Amino acid sequence: MNSSIKIKVAELISFLLIFLFAYTGLSKLMTVMQFERTLRQSPLLSDVASVVARLIPLTELAIVVLLLIPRFKKLGTWCSLVLLSLFTIYIAYMIAFTPHLPCSCGGILKQLSWHHHLVFNVCLIALSAVSIRLTATTKMIDSIMSV
């Protein structure tokens, strides 16, 4: 794959991540009380539901800002990877122990079942990893070409 295609693919993944985090972050903030109520039902997060209900959407929007600024794009992609991995671990826990509880996701993602959400998150983690890999190899090629 040549360098320009790699850049375009990385840009497309970045676009998807910005859209996803902006959408879910805003949706959660717009229904923060409902989001907090759902988290209160979770055996893992019930004690810290109030803080987590605000921290998660703010973290998602902070990642959007990082992904938007070219200088911090790589950091933003790494943060996306970490946050999506944490969400995935949480989903796996919920599937294993309390699958009857509602999903505390933002926007239309709430309509997904836990299993569909797990698959969705694994795909996004893979895309984030691909983006990091592509950015790294593209930079390497660029630095070799500039010598």
Partner 1 sequence: MKKYISGLSAIVLAICFSAFSTSPAPDHSTAGAKKAPSLFWYAINPDGSLGSALNNGAQMDKSTALGYTPCQDVTAVECDRGYSSRQVVGANPAPATNSSSDYHIKKTQ
Quick one: which segment of 84-92, 95-103, 116-124, 130-138 binds partner 1 (CB under 8 A)? 95-103
Least gap, CB of 86 to partner 1 (angstroms): 20
By CB under 8 A, residue 5 contacts partner 1: no
Q: How far apart are CA 13 and CA 7, in angstroms?
A: 10
Query: How many CB atoms are closer than 10 A to CB 88?
Result: 17
CA dist 86 → 8, 50, 89 (Å): 27, 18, 5
Quick one: which segment of 30-38, 87-95, 119-127, 137-145 binds partner 1 (CB under 8 A)? 30-38
What phi and psi values does residue 97 have, to the nearest 5 degrees? -115, -35
Q: How far apart are CA 60 and CA 81, in angstroms?
A: 12
Kindly list the residues in this chain that would bind partner 1 in the complex (CB under 8 A).
11, 14-16, 18-20, 22-23, 26-27, 30-31, 34, 37-38, 40-43, 46, 64, 67-68, 70, 98, 100-103, 106-108, 110-111
